[in-house]
Amino acid sequence: MKNLKGIFSALLVSFNEDGSINEKGLRQIIRHNIDKMKVDGLYVGGSTGENFMLSTEEKKQIFRIAKDEAKDQVALIAQVGSVNLKEAVELGKYATELGYDSLSAVTPFYYKFSFPEIKHYYETIIAETGNNMIVYSIPFLTGVNIGVEQFGELYKNPKVLGVKFTAGDFYLLERLRKAYPEKLVWAGFDEMMVPAASLGVHGAIGSTFNVNGLRARQIFELTQAGQVKEALEIQHVTNDLIEGILANGLYLTIKEILKLQGVDAGYCREPMTAKATEAQLVRAKELYEQFLK
Ligand code: NGF
């Protein structure tokens, strides 16, 4: 298994206008992340990959293309979580056979699953695949909150490496770091990297790293080195960019910025708005020129 610490881009996927996967564009996004953003790894099949709108076969295709393009150049994490546990297992087996360094699975959502049901979900994926697991906790989208003791229950399985923590609850993050210092944490909110890194997270997984990965690394490493004032200055610039991206449409704007850098990042997948309006294109160009050129 590769080192899973550091800066991971949550991989964007390029779609054609009809919603099909644009393989050439996806390969370009992967190359851009490895060669230009110098990331340590890729988180494939996450929210940023518009994963929850895709078929099982499409998810497999993306895992296959990402591995084929990245080879062993960077660490690879496959997000296989699904409310369909059988699909999660099938995807987990597939990604494991491809050689992904770890799996990750979003907490099962939509139905109000009990904690024993959530634990069974993770235990089943691990038992069926034999791979490592990173819990993907993103309560603001799933509505699923896991407490300190419940994390402890999941962490009893040594295959559970830790959590991708996409939340602004720094009290919970601190409690987790104290209670389970041997377990890894990846910060999920790019705009909160300084506080997360101050609390000792081991890595970060973010959508904006697809275009702002170099600054993300600076923020992370400066904070780790105790140079918080310097890190915060870069975080301020980063957050001006992120604020602009969020206001203009998250994935769509990152894709338009990539296109300005010669990467065929394509369209988004419906029911998300697939194509940028003229005003969104103009704003994406402004953000690119102000922050990334
Ligand atoms: O896009 C989302 C969902 N969150 C990402 C990241 O946590 C998602 C975050 O980078 C991710 O890793 C994944 O693809 O599964 C934000 O986009 C960023 O901080 C801007 O808010 O909200």
CATH number, domain at 181? Answer: 3.20.20.70
Q: Which residues contact 111 (CB under 8 A, 6 or more apart)?
A: 83
On whether residue 286 sits in a domain, the answer given is: no
On whether residue 151 sits in a domain, the answer given is: yes
**ipTM for this model:** 0.98
Find, among 68, 69, 59, the residue nearest to 30 by Cα: 69
pLDDT at 1 over 90: no
pLDDT digits over 99-144, tens only?
A: 999 999 999 999 999 999 999 999 999 999 999 999 999 999 999 9
Rounded percentage of the chain residues whose pLDDT exceeds 70: 100
On whether residue 105 sits in a domain, the answer given is: yes
On whether residue 269 sits in a domain, the answer given is: no
Q: Is 4's C-beta closer than 6 angstroms to any atom of ligand 1?
A: no
Find, among 290, 211, 230, 268, the residue nearest to 38 by Cα: 211
Residue with CA closest to ligand 1 atom 21: 189
User: Is 30 in contact with 73 (CB distance < 8 Å)?
Assistant: no
Q: How many domains does the chain have?
A: 1
What is the distance between the alpha carbons of residues 217 and 37, in angstroms, rounded to a whole number? 9
pLDDT digits over 167-196, tens only?
A: 999 999 999 999 999 999 999 999 999 999
Q: DSSP class of residue 147?
A: -
Domain of residue 78 covers: 6-225
Q: Is 45's C-beta closer than 6 angstroms to any atom of ligand 1?
A: no
Closest atom of ligand 1 relative to the 208 alpha carbon: 10
What is the distance between the alpha carbons of residues 122 and 104, in angstroms, rounded to a whole number? 9
β-bridge mates for residue 283, sequence order? none
136 classed as catalytic: yes
φ, ψ at 137 (rounded to 5°): -105, 115
**Ligand 1 test: best mutation among 166, 201, 272, most atoms within 8 Å of CB?**
166
What is the distance between the alpha carbons of residues 84 and 82, in angstroms, rounded to a whole number? 5
**Ligand 1 test: best mutation among 8, 37, 47, 272, most atoms within 8 Å of CB?**
47
On whether residue 202 sits in a domain, the answer given is: yes
Q: Is 53's C-beta closer than 6 angstroms to any atom of ligand 1?
A: no
Average pLDDT value over all residues in the chain: 98
pLDDT digits over 223-273, tens only?
A: 999 999 999 999 999 999 999 999 999 999 999 999 999 999 999 999 999
On whether residue 173 sits in a domain, the answer given is: yes
On whether residue 235 sits in a domain, the answer given is: no
Q: DSSP class of residue 165?
A: E
94 classed as catalytic: no
On whether residue 283 sits in a domain, the answer given is: no
Choose, from 122, 136, 155, 180, the residue flagged as catalytic.
136
